[in-house]
Structure 1
Amino acid sequence: MRASDADRDRVAAVLREHTAQGRITMDEFNERLEQLYKSKTYGELAKLTSDLPDVDLRHRQLAKAEQAPAKRAANHAGMKAAWGAWAMASGINWVIWLIVSVSSGELIYPWPMWVMGPWGVILLISTVFGNNQPKRQ
């Protein structure tokens, strides 16, 4: 019987899992992947994994899904982006302050602290006391 694209995708996922577990090398993975996309029948697909143990991808996906909420809370992309923007703006302001101070020949008032201070305090409070989870609409 002829295999579908979905069948090939499932076999590719199995091959990725075996590569991640160290059963096959990256070179073997690439060779098998090349053969995978040339395969037309179920028999050809079965040959690609015949020397490998069965992998229950559904169980693995469930385990990943259970870990995802905790990981998402700790690594909320919006909070990382906010801290990144704060760091970038603060750095640029301090560079401008340094250039102006050096070019004027005297140390001028450190005004960048008024840019980074309140913004940083708000971010710190949000990070420590906030739930760090993206808003759902």
Structure 2
Amino acid sequence: MANSPEMRASDGDRDRVAAVLREHTAQGRITMDEFNERLEQLYKSKTYGELARLTADLPEVDLRNRPKVSKEIEKKRDAHAGIKAAWGAWAMASGINWVIWLIVSSTSNGDVYPWPLWVMGPWGVILLISTIFGNNQPKQQQ
């Protein structure tokens, strides 16, 4: 049975229209202001007719067959993910070392040398140089 414009829409129907609106925003067909306005109207909509009016001026979008990302963009994403992971490991190790230093210095009688600087300093400098000057390309397998 076909959905008539007077039939009530479900939350799932509204979510599908929201995904279509996000895709049109990403493709530049509607601005963020228009997207926000339509999204506000979307969640006030009760029927299929009201949902259809929100996308009536937009072409159909098949969310299952989105365009493929180019290999170059995919490689950049992979490289950025690697450098982000390296910085995350550095931050985690630095944080743990500083917590240990803080516990030791608060429980000891005298001053405790800030040794975590020797852990995070050289590692951080190497990461910084790699981030700025590295080509951020994954190594090719032979």
Determine if the alignment matches structure 1 residue 28 to structure 2 residue 32: no
Name the structure with the higher helix share.
Answer: 1
Number of aligned residues: 115
The one-letter amino acid of 2:87's match is: W
**Preserved contact between residue 94 and residue 119 of structure 2 (Cα < 8 Å):** yes
The equivalent residue for 1:54 is: 58
- Unmatched runs of 5 consecutive residues or more in structure 2: 3-12
Choose 22-31 or 117-126, whichever is displaced more.
Answer: 22-31
**Preserved contact between residue 90 and residue 115 of structure 1 (Cα < 8 Å):** yes
The equivalent residue for 1:107 is: 111
Deviation at 1:77, TM superposition (A): 2.1
RMSD: 4.2
Deviation at 1:20, TM superposition (A): 5.6
Deviation at 1:135, TM superposition (A): 5.4
- Please give the TM-score of this superposition, normalised by the length of structure 2: 0.54
Superposed CA deviations along residues 1-43 of structure 1, whole A, max 9, x for unmatched, are x7xxxxx9xx8454432696316522433466984xxxxxxxx
Q: Out of 63, 78, 81, which is 1:77 matched to?
A: 81
CA distance in 2, matches of 1:52, 1:78: 42
- Unmatched runs of 5 consecutive residues or more in structure 1: 3-7, 36-43
Deviation at 1:86, TM superposition (A): 0.8
Q: Out of 94, 98, 110, which is 1:90 matched to?
A: 94
Deviation at 1:116, TM superposition (A): 0.8
Tell me: CA distance 1:51–1:90, structure 2 relative to 1, closer, same or farther (3 Å): closer
Deviation at 1:51, TM superposition (A): 6.7
Deviation at 1:129, TM superposition (A): 1.1
Q: Out of 121, 125, 129, which is 1:121 matched to?
A: 125
CA distance in 2, matches of 1:91, 1:136: 33
Determine if the alignment matches structure 1 residue 131 to structure 2 residue 142: no
CA distance in 2, matches of 1:112, 1:96: 9
- Please give the TM-score of this superposition, normalised by the length of structure 1: 0.56
